[in-house]
Amino acid sequence: MAKSSEHSETVIGSSIKVEGNFVGHGNIIVEGRVTGSMKTDQDLRIVPGAVVEADVEARNVFIAGDVRGNVKAHDRLELTESAKVSGDVQAKVVSIGAGASLNGKCTMLGAEAAVEEPGGDPIRERAKSRGSRPVEVA
C-alpha cells in the first residue's frame, strides 16, 4: 500500500519543456528542458541530455546533463563525467567525476570555517571572514 506521507515524484520527460518557477516537495528527475528556477526539499536528478537553464536548489543534486545556472545542494552535489555546469555551486559534499565541466565558483556549506593561526593561509583567512570553507583539491 502507498504510504500517505510519500511525496509525489516529478518527471520532466524529454518531450516537454517547463518554463517558470517550479517548486516541488518530492524528488525531481529532469530528462527534458527547464528554464527559470527549480527548487525541491528532496532530491534533484538531471540526466544526460537534459538542459536546465535555471537556478536549482535541492537536498541532494545529481547532474549528468547541462546546467546553466547556480546550483545549491543542502547535502550532496554529484557531477558525473557528462555533466556541464556553468554557474556557481554550493554544497556540503561535492563529488566531481573525471571529465565533468564546472565553470563557476564552488563554495562548501555548513561546518565551521577552519580556525587558522594569525599570519596563516590568506585564502583560508578570507574564507573564514565570509563564513565558508574553500574547496580543497587533492
Partner 1 sequence: MYAYLYDAFLRQPKFGARLARIEGRLHDLGIHGKIEKLTLLKSFKELAEAAIKRGAETIVAVGDDQTVSKIIGVIAEHNVTLGIIPFGKSTRVAEFLGIPEGVAACDVLSARIVEQVDLGRANDTYFLSFLQLAPAHELILECDGGKFHIEPVRGQHSVIVYNFGPAGRDPRDGVLETVISREPAEPGGLKLFRGRPSGRQSVVPIKHMRIKSFKGSLPAYADGQTVVKTPLTVSVAPRKLKVIVGKNRKFV
Residue with Cβ nearer partner 1 (6 or 112): 6
Q: Which of residues 42-101 bind partner 1 (CB under 8 A)?
A: none
Burial readout 22-51 (b: 16 or more C-beta within 10 A, e: otherwise): bebeebbbbbbbbbebbbbeebbbbbeebb
Q: How far is the CB of 19 from partner 1 (least distance, A)?
A: 6
- The tally of CA atoms less than 13 A away on the side-chain side of residue 87 is 19
- Closest to partner 1 by CB, 18 vs 109, is 18
Report d(CA 33, CA 43) in Å as an integer.
18
* Other Cβ atoms closer than 10 A to 91: 21
Q: Which is nearer to partner 1, 31 or 116 (CB)?
A: 31
Contact predicate 103/85, CB 8 Å: yes
Residue 14 or residue 95: which is nearer to partner 1 going by CB? 14
Print the binding letters for residues 5-44 with partner 1: x by CB under 8 A, - otherwise.
Answer: -x-xxxxxxxxxxxxxxxxx-x--x-xxx--x--------
Q: What does R_g of the chain's alpha carbons equal in angstroms?
A: 17
Q: Binding-site residue total for partner 1 (CB under 8 A)?
A: 28
User: Residue 113 CB, nearest distance to partner 1 (Å)?
Assistant: 36
Binding positions for partner 1, rule: CB under 8 A: 1-4, 6, 8-24, 26, 29, 31-33, 36
